Amino acid sequence: MQERVIFHIDVNSAFLSWESVYRLQELHEEVDLREIPAAIGGDEKKRRGIILAKSIAAKRFGVRTGESILEARRKCPQLYLAPANYELYKKNSLAFMKILREYSPDVEQYSIDEAFMDMTGMQTLFGEPVHCAHTIKDRIHKELGFTVNVGISRNKYLAKMASDFEKPDKVHTLFPEEIKEKMWPLPVGELLFVGRSTVAKLESMGIRTIGELARTDLGILKTALKKQGESIWNFANGIDFSLVQTEPEMNKGYGNSTTISFDVTDGEAAKTVLLALAESVGARLRKDEVKIQVVSVAIKDNQLKRMSHQKVLPAATDITNEIYQAACELFDELWDGRPIRLLGIQTSHTKEEETRQLSLFDDGGYEKWEQMDQAVDEIRRKFGRDAVKRAAFLKEDSINKGFSIRHRGD
């Protein structure tokens, strides 16, 4: 059986690079924003304006992605700030993905500026993996004007870790046999999906490097961090079985997502958004008389980085509360505290309406939820969607005004 070959390709300082290339090639400006203290940010007059991307020169002054423009200005008074141009980013992203798809039929766009490629078996067409990665990297630079990093491994997680090594314009490998040398000496905070609060907990347990985490007894981690303990232990040991998904998750099954007009940093506020999404998904399932057995949650932070996680339910359902509870569990496992700009719930393994099998673990609560959902659906059908509102939405009215639900996967 052929060993898997997975690439992770990440545009270096995407927004800043794309803006710089546009100014150099289209406007014929002489200054390359990538070579001066520069950044892409929101409206400087608005208090919520943040740094979306920064140059290496700006980084030397301590400017960080995600901090406020005011903070960045204090560190670097001469910082050149360019406004965000999302149409330009979309155009460059499409051109970037088009090139990638010429090298593999299995390309998963992970965010606007990064993707996974399954390159298994492609050696006969494009040469061995490192040579092929350099070919792709150099072609993108030549044709589109910006640079990328390429990470290569046997699975998606290790490939993404590899692409985050030294930047810019580099190719790195992180095969399982290289983990001890290249990944284990790194601080535990360098492990993807390990946030600040988790780092603090691990350090309080005496775990400061990825290697120390990998060698920690799994039972101890599960006791301290529950399911997340097992997840990060797997990652530290290079274990990841996820597949490169050629089609976006949000195009399969019943799913909704919402882009929020401001940064959400409070977990309870985020769960209010998830409740609204679960209500919408559940109503559509009941309308079509189908049930689902897999729920996934997607989060996109204010740097447009996307994360997702899924779980299989004990029984197929169309009940809003069961979908919501599953979504909250996934959210708690996935969210690392970074400001949220998009939340999504996606479902799959759709089944035709069927009688639910009794289980020893069912407490009968689903029957009450089922009756409540039916009653709410009927009231809304007769008198409109706003005829019935959950108390949670009344409490979080300011949050609700900041997002609108988009249906996906009909």
* Helix, strand or coil, per DSSP, at residue 329: helix
CATH of 15-87, one of 3.40.1170.60, 3.30.565.10, 3.40.50.1220, 2.60.40.10: 3.40.1170.60
Q: Under a CB-based contact definition with an 8 Å cutoff, are residues 171 and 186 in contact?
A: no
**What are the pLDDT digits (tens) for 352-368?**
655 444 443 444 455 67
Residue 381, pLDDT > 50, answer yes
- Confidence (pLDDT) at 37: 96
Q: Do domains 183-236 and 249-408 have the same CATH topology?
A: no
What's the full length of the chain, in residues?
410
Alpha-carbon distance of 387 to 395, in angstroms, equals 17
- Confidence (pLDDT) at 106: 92
Task: State in words which class domain 249-408 has.
Answer: alpha beta
Cβ contacts of 373 within 8 Å, gap of 6 or more: 282, 283, 286, 318, 319, 320
CATH code at 183-236: 1.10.150.20
**What are the pLDDT digits (tens) for 193-220?**
888 888 999 999 999 999 999 999 999 9
Domain spans, the chain: 15-87, 183-236, 249-408
Mean pLDDT, residues 270-285 taken together = 90
- Confidence (pLDDT) at 233: 95
* Helix, strand or coil, per DSSP, at residue 104: coil
Report the relative pairing of strands 290-301 and 80-83 from DSSP bridges.
unpaired
Residue 90, pLDDT > 80, answer yes
Is residue 114 annotated as part of the catalytic site, yes or no?
yes
Catalytic residue among 114, 249, 279, 396: 114
- Confidence (pLDDT) at 6: 96
Mean pLDDT, residues 115-132 taken together = 94
- Confidence (pLDDT) at 293: 87
Closest C-alpha to 171, from 8, 322, 384, 315: 8
